[in-house]
Structure 1
Amino acid sequence: MDPCTTCPANFQEYQKRFPEMFDAYREAARRARTAGPLDEKTTHLVQLAAAVGIRSEGAVHSHARRALDAGAAPDELFHVVNLMVSTVGFPAAAAAFSWIRDVLENR
């Protein structure tokens, strides 16, 4: 697969060191997104919620960017975070809120 030139540097380094694993990872992600009825925007919003749940700043950044690229509005991203408060707690949601703001400020 093509190099991920928009991915974080660490991700790009992984791709260079392990191209076959990276290709398999990207193909598995593509298949998962297209295996069901959810559209691309919705799949990234779901993955954003999961990223908030595991407190992964990188994944929150990635899925926020990708959801925006797929047509999500900033308010939809923040709504996902708000929905997660009762599941993961306010501190994790507040962190995710700031990570989404990072993405929006850099667009």
Structure 2
Amino acid sequence: MSKDKLPKNFQKLQQNHPEFMAAVGNLGKAVREAGPLDEKTINLLQMAAAAALRMEGAVHSHARRAMSAGATEAEVRHALIVLTSTIGFPAVATATSWVNDVSED
């Protein structure tokens, strides 16, 4: 995602707290490199966690990132619907609508 497409609040945090945001970025890089999971799987997991927490922007971001890393739309949607017995149908339906915002449908 290009810098001009980043959420305005994220851009503002980068502007006002560059050291903090660099540390957040470094943490993200470190945890990705700490184990055997590939980028697609990591983003599907993060999208699922974001769905459970009802974080719309993070669901958008991680769905996009998962698809950029090779996930199909079917895999992204399946990663959400398998959450139904854990987070409930209403939360899954909501998260699915957020994926619709960024999918190619």
TM-score, structure 1 as length reference: 0.91
**Aligned counterpart, 2:39:** 40
**Aligned counterpart, 1:77:** 76
Q: Which runs of 5+ in 1 are unaligned?
A: none
Give the distance between the partners of 2:104 and 2:41, measured in 1 at CA: 22
- Write out aligned runs for 1:5-16 (5 A): 5=3, 6-16=5-15
Give the distance between the partners of 2:52 and 2:100, measured in 1 at CA: 17
Amino acid paired to 2:73: P
Post-superposition Cα deviations, 1:24-56, rounded to whole Å, max 9, x if no partner, equal 001101111110000011100111110111010
**Aligned counterpart, 2:17:** 18
Give the distance between the partners of 1:7 and 1:86, measured in 2 at CA: 33
TM-score, structure 2 as length reference: 0.93
What is the alpha-carbon root mean square deviation over aligned residues? 1.4
